[in-house]
Structure 1
Amino acid sequence: MELKRVVVTGLGALTPIGNNIEEYWDGLINGKSGAAPITHFDASKFKTQFACEIKNFNINDFMHRKEARKLDRFSQYAMVASDEAIADSKLDLERVNKARVGVIWGAGIGGIETFHNEVRDFTKGDGTPRFNPFFIPKMIADIAPGHISIKNGFMGPNFTTVSACASSANAMIDALNYIRLGHCDVIITGGSEAAVIQSGVGGFNALHALSTNNENAASASKPFDANRDGFVLGEGAGALVLEEYEHAKARGAKIYAEVIGGGLSSDAYHMTAPHPEGIGVVAVMENCLKNAGITPEEVELINTHGTSTPLGDVAELKAIGKVFGDHAKNININSTKSMTGHLLGAAGAIEAIASILSLEHGIVPPTINHTTPDENIDPELNLTLNKAQKRKAKIAMSNTFGFGGHNACVLLKKLDE
C-alpha cells in the first residue's frame, strides 16, 4: 500500500527558556540558559541545587484553579502546550472528524510530584490510609493525553508512550505511522515532564547523572565540553499537530515541515549507560534514514541527544561519524539541551520543534557553554558552538535516547516553496 505523507501544522512549547513557541525560539537563537537555583523546594541539602525550571508561569492563567488541582504539573504543562499547538494549527474543531483525530503523548515518569506528595503525607500520619481521590488519576503517565482528548472531544487513538527520555520521540513516530497507514487524519503528539522535585533530583543524584556545578549553574549544561559533569534537569512540554498532507492542503493549513522518517533501536547493553561505541545509536540513525528513503549526504542538521554526560556525548558523536563518514563534517550538529536542560520524556518533542524552526528560519541554535575542547571528540565536527549560525537547510535529524537503551530518531524536511 502507498503510505500517506505526514506534515506538521501546529506547534506549542512550554520550556525553561520560553513559555510559548515565540519565546522558546527567541531563547534558542540567542543562546539563553534556562538553568538557575531550584525554587520548587528547598534544595540546600542536595548535591545538585539548580535545574531548568519553567519561569513566570501560573497555571491559573490558563485554567480554573479547581481544574488545575485535579492535574499533576506534567499534565498541566501538556494542556498548555497542546492548546497552543491546536490553536496554531487553526484546526476547525467544529468541522473536523474527531473520530479521526488522536492524541499520542510521551512521558518518561508522569506524575511523580503527586506520588511523592501523597506518600510523604501518608507516612506523616498514624498509618491510616488517607489518600486524595485524585491520587491515581493525577499520577498515571497516560492521563495527559486523556485530558487533551476530553477537552477537545478527540476520539481517535489515545495513549502514552513510555521509553524514558525517548518517550516523546517515540510518540511522534507512533503518530507518524498511524497517519501514514491511513488510520487518522490528525494526531496531537509531543510530551511533558515535571520531575524537578525532591525525589527526582535526589534520585538522579544517586545515579551520579546530574551536574553538581552549583557555583556556575547557568553554564553547567555544557555538551561536548571536556569539563562536562552531568546533565541539568529540566521540565516543560512540547506539542506538535501532525496531519495527513492532503488533509492539511485541503483546508489551507500552514505546513511547517514534513515528517519523512522515524527510526527505533535498542542498545541492549546497560540499564543507564550508553554503549561506548554507540552501536545502538548507529542502528537508530541508519533505521531512520532507511525509513525516510534518503541518503546520509542529504542530512544537513542534527540536533543531538547531547545531554552533557561524559560518556553519552562521545558515544553519540562517534556514532554520527560512523553513519555519515566524511559528510559529518558538513553537518551543523548542536545540542539545545545546553540551554533547556534535559526535559526527560519531553526532550524529543521540544528538540524536534527546535529542528523544525531551524528549517523554517534558516538559523541553527547554538550549543552554548563550550569553553574546553574534548580530546575524544573530532575537532573537525561543526558543533555550532556558542553562537547561532545561519544555514538554509532542507533536512534535519533529531536524536533522543533513554535509560534502558531506548533510541529514537526523527527526520524532518522543509517543503519546497
Structure 2
Amino acid sequence: MVSEVLKFLMRGPCTFLTGLTVFSELLPLPLPLQIREPLRAEDLSKVVNSRKLWSAHLHSLSSEIQEIVGTLSYSTCPSVQQLLRRVCVQLSDLAAPSASVVARAVMDALYGSLVHPCYGSSMAGEVVRPLTPQNWPPTPGTLSLLDQIAFMLTHAPFKMAMLHAIKSGGKYLDLFNYMLTLFNLSSDEPTHIQIQDCILLVNALPSKDLLNTICSSLVQHLTNSAHSYTTVLLALRILIMLTEHDFGFYAVKTALDKEELSLWFLFERLSTSFSKDSSDFLSTLSASVELVRTLGSVEGGIVCLGPLRTLRLSAAEVAAHLAWGRRQDKEPHPLLRLEKMLVVCPLLACPCLPCVRFFLRHLAGTKKKERESHHWPQVVVDLVSLVECTLPEFNLKSELEKLVLPGNEGVDGSKSSL
C-alpha cells in the first residue's frame, strides 16, 4: 500500500500535495505524543515496537523515499515545503535507519546541486576541480536545500543522523568543509548572502575535530570586515552558545588563541562604523560584549541538564585577546571609544513649533513699553475716523440711536439728544 502511495506521489506535479498528505496521514505521529496521562510501560513498548516495524517496512523503499525527498526539496512552493518537512520529521522519528535515509537524501541533493554529475570521474583532457565555492558556486537550488536542512536540524533525530553522516567522511565531509568555506567567503550576490544566513549546522556538538574546524571558521568570520553584521551576529551567538560547557569553551579558546587579535579587530570595526540607528549593529555590539563577559566569568546556579562550565579565561588572557595596553597606538582603545560614544551624547535643544517661534519673534520685536499694563489706557482712539476707515457703510450715530428704546425719552429728562 505504501509503495503504491509513493508511486502515485511521483506521478506528476499535480499529485505532490495529495500524495504527501496521504503519506503523512499513514505515518505515526512524532514523539512526544500529546496525551493527557503518561503512558504505561507496556503501552510505551508498543509505541516503540510499532515505530521499529514501520522503519523496517520502509527500509525496502529507501530508494523511493530518497528520490521523493531529493526531488521535492528543490520546490519553492510553501505548501509542498510544509508537507515535505512534516513527512521528513515523521520519518526521522521512526528509528535511526529512517533518519539516516532522510539525512543522506537531503545531503545528496545538496551535493548534486553544487557539482556536475561527472564530478570526480577522470575524463580525458579535463582536470578535476576541488569542491570549493570558487570552483562550484552555489545556486538558487542550493539555497532551497540549505533552508530545508536548517529547518530539519531543529529535530533531534535528523540532527544526529546528519552528524553521523558527516563523521563518516567522504563527500559529506567535503560538503561540510565547503559550507564552512562559503561562510567565510564575502560576496555581494543575494543568493550567497541568503545562503550564509541558512548555515546553522553548528547548533549541536559534533566530534572534536569538526568542532575545532567550526570554531576556527567562526572566529575568522569575525575578523573579516567585508561580512555584514547579520552573519557576524549569527557567528557571535553560536560562539556564546558553545561556551556554555567545557567541551565547547575549550574549542572556542583554541580558535581565539590561533587568531590572537580577532576580538580587537571586531571591536575596532564596531568603533569605526558606530551607528545607533542600526538594529544589527546594536545587537552585534551587545553580543560582542556578552562573549567577552562569558569568556572571563563562570555563571553560578544549578543546572539540571548537566554540570556547569568550570573553565574560564583569566583577566590577563582577556586583556591579551583585546590587545589592552599592548598596542602602541596613539588613538585610545576601541572599547574606550565605544564607551565615549555611548555615554557622551550631544544634547539637542527641544524643537519649537513654527507658530510658537513666530510669536516669540513678534514679542521680541515689539517695544518694551507696549508690553506694560498701564500703557494702553492712556492711548486716545478716534472711533469715528476708525469706523470711516474700516467700515465705510457703518453709521455710528444711527446705530447708537437704535439703542435708545422709543418709550424711554421721558424717563430720563436729563438725557441730551444726540
TM-score by length of 2: 0.27
More helix by share: 2
Q: Larger Cα Rg: Structure 1 or Structure 2?
A: 2
TM-score by length of 1: 0.27
